[in-house]
């Protein structure tokens, strides 16, 4: 939890020819991304974001600094960050993805299983991508209470009770 910025969305390209952008929100309530404006990118540049309307897979938005389609296209792929202090406090059983990445993973007996490389969500539950120890191989683990009964952010580790044959 050392990062003071959290990725809350991304610019996925231009929308139309008048400088509007497509925004993909990573917020639990997607429209909340606008309330965290101004947002910043990885370089610290600031973006004043105003959602115009929902579109497929996100929102059409206006960014004050963007006037043309070419300017909007140039921002495709830019991740948008909000300050952690702007975001709501989470219940005990919810976590920001950025806080999970890098955590050591052990089984219920304390044996090292690897570390969390990434968190994925393809429409259902979250999946933790574990980088196996001493290898470049990864494995996807369902991020459910049954499979991951313990998340200890203070100790920077998770306990995994893998189903038979997962690992």
pTM of the model: 0.75
Cα–Cα distance measured from residue 3 to residue 11, given in angstroms and rounded to the nearest whole number: 21
Tally Cβ neighbours within 10 Å of residue 66: 22
pLDDT at 134: 87
Report yes or no on 25 lying in a domain.
yes
> 15: helix, coil or strand?
strand
Identify the domain containing residue 81 by its residue range. Answer: 5-85
pLDDT at 163: 85
If asked whether residues 21 and 79 sit together in one domain, one would say yes
Name the stretches of the chain with pLDDT < 70: 1-3, 123
Cα–Cα distance measured from residue 12 to residue 72, given in angstroms and rounded to the nearest whole number: 9
Report yes or no on 92 lying in a domain.
no
pLDDT at 143: 92
Assign residue 151 the CATH number of its domain.
2.30.30.240
* Residue 37 near residue 31 (C-beta atoms within 8 A): no
pLDDT at 93: 82
pLDDT at 135: 86
If asked whether residues 71 and 12 sit together in one domain, one would say yes
């Amino acid at each position: 939890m050392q990062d003071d910025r959290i990725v809350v969305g991304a610019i996925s390209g231009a929308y139309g020819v008048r400088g509007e952008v497509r925004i993909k929100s990573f917020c639990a309530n997607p429209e909340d991304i606008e309330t965290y404006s101004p947002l910043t990118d990885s370089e610290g540049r600031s973006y004043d974001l105003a959602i115009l309307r929902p579109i497929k897979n996100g929102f059409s938005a206006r960014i004050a600094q963007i006037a043309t389609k070419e300017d909007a296209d140039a921002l495709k792929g830019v991740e948008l960050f909000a300050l952690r202090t702007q975001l709501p406090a989470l219940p005990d059983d919810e976590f920001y993805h950025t806080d999970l990445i890098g955590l050591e993973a052990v089984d219920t007996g304390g044996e090292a299983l690897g570390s969390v490389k990434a968190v994925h969500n393809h429409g259902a539950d979250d999946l933790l991508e574990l980088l196996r120890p001493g290898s470049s191989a990864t494995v996807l683990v369902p991020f459910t209470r049954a499979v991951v009964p313990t998340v200890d952010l203070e100790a920077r580790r998770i306990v995994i009770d893998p189903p038979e044959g997962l690992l």
